[in-house]
């Protein structure tokens, strides 16, 4: 039997030595640990926020969602737009929403009374109504008084929709004012040919010439819409001011992130974004 000499033992040790051993091992391990920590930190920042918002907030909240994602890399803001009544019903039935922004206080109160809000709602914007007619004006609607003329094809939001309720309030106010007269509301509603489930439906019907007139929020007359319609202002004293409340929801998947989005809406930057899209801000905190 041949005994292994010192040289053989050194060769065997060299062959079995860890390739990271030696002075290069510590820096390599430190770099690996840093990459692992950064990866875990990035994973911790990945958050989803489901925002249910009134249809009239489509453009403004689209901008706010981008702003939130720029501020918080890894966050994803999913936006669901519809009539406030539809969104409230979906939330009540268990839809996975983190934030609710309503076009009126009624549907926010509906969820509050059922214990679905994570705290008290906060008002974040106001809006005012206008009458719109197609640019070609086939119904020859030149003044708000003309909405009562027989044969006019009028489209409004349904009575349960915030814009529909506000529109009927305006008609009530006008009916108590000269030169409209007490039967103005009745005559106008006789011309109603369609009741939409959100304000965008009213805009679309008038924009496409499927109705002679409609009543919408001033903020819904975007640059694109303005190219296809004319605006008839409603007398200021008879107009109404729509109030928009917002709240995080108790069943939010990430309540902290939901509250952060609410704070963004109420922040000076968020309020500026709302103003840019035709809404009336309520705060410049």
Predicted local confidence at residue 285, as pLDDT: 43
10-residue stretch averages of pLDDT, the chain, 285 residues long? 45 44 50 43 68 97 96 94 98 97 98 97 98 97 98 98 98 95 97 98 97 98 97 97 98 96 96 97 69
Same domain for 262 and 185, yes or no, is: no
Same domain as 221, residue 185: yes
The reply to whether 220 falls in a domain is yes
Name the helix (H) or strand (E) containing 40: helix 25-45
Residue 64, domain member (yes or no): yes
Q: In this structure, are 222 and 144 located in the same domain?
A: yes
Q: What is the three-class DSSP state of 204?
A: helix
141 and 237 in a single domain? The answer is yes
Digit-coded pLDDT (tens) for 185-220: 999 999 999 999 999 999 999 999 999 999 999 999
Q: What is the DSSP string of 207-222?
A: HTTSSSEEEEEGGG--
Given this model, what pLDDT does residue 16 score?
Answer: 43
Same domain, 187 and 95: no
Question: Is residue 108 domain-shared with residue 132, that is, in the same domain?
Answer: no
The verdict on residue 159 lying in a domain is yes
pLDDT at position 231 is: 98
Main-chain dihedrals φ then ψ at residue 37, nearest 5 degrees: -65, -45
One domain, residues 254 and 236: no
What integer pLDDT is reported at residue 283 of this predicted model?
67
Share of the chain above pLDDT 70, in %: 83
User: In this predicted structure, what is the pLDDT of residue 21?
Assistant: 45
Phi, psi angle pair for 181, to nearest 5° = 90, 160
- Please list the residues that pair with 236 across neighbouring strands: none
What CATH number corresponds to the domain at position 50? 3.40.190.10
Is residue 23 in a domain?
Answer: no
Count of domains forming the chain: 2
Q: Are residues 161 and 203 in the same domain?
A: yes
Are 188 and 208 in the same domain?
A: yes
pLDDT at res. 47: 87
Structural domain boundaries enclosing 78 = 46-126+243-281
**Could you tell me if 179 and 205 lie in one domain?**
yes
The pairing of strands 241-248 and 99-101 is antiparallel
- Do residues 213 and 270 both lie within one domain? no
In angstroms, the CA 207 to CA 184 distance is 25
Same domain, 96 and 51: yes
In a domain, 173, yes or no: yes
Q: Which tens digit of pLDDT belongs to each residue from 32-63?
A: 444 444 444 444 467 899 999 999 999 999 99
- Confirm whether 60 is domain-assigned: yes
pLDDT at site 45: 62
For 265, the token pair is 């809406």
User: What is the spatial distance between Cα 153 and Cα 191, in angstroms, rounded to a whole number?
Assistant: 6
């Amino acid at each position: 039997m041949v005994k292994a000499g010192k040289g053989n033992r050194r060769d065997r040790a060299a062959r079995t030595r860890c390739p990271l051993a030696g002075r290069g091992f510590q820096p390599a391990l430190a770099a690996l640990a840093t990459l692992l920590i950064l990866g875990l930190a990035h994973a911790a920042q990945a958050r989803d926020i489901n925002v249910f918002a009134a249809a009239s907030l489509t453009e403004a909240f689209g901008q706010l969602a981008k702003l939130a994602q720029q501020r918080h890399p890894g966050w994803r803001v999913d936006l669901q737009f519809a009539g406030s009544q539809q969104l409230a019903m979906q939330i009540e039935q268990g839809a996975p929403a983190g934030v609710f922004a309503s076009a009126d206080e009624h549907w926010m109160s509906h969820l509050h009374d059922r214990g679905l809000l994570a705290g008290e709602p906060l008002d974040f914007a106001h809006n005012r109504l206008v009458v719109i007619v197609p640019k070609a004006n086939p119904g020859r609607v030149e003044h708000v008084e003309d909405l009562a003329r027989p044969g006019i094809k009028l489209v409004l939001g349904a009575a349960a929709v915030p814009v529909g309720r506000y529109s009927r309030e305006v008609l009530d106010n006008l009916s108590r004012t000269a030169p409209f007269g007490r039967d103005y509301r009745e005559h106008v509603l006789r011309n109603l040919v369609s009741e939409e489930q959100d304000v965008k439906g009213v805009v679309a019907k008038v924009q496409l010439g499927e109705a002679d007139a409609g009543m919408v929020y001033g903020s819904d007359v975007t640059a694109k819409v303005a190219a296809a319609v004319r605006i008839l202002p409603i007398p200021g004293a008879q107009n109404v001011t729509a109030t928009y409340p917002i709240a995080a929801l108790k069943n939010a998947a990430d309540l902290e992130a939901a509250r952060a989005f609410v704070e963004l809406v109420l922040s000076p930057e968020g309020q500026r974004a709302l103003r840019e899209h035709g809404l009336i801000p309520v705060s410049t905190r």
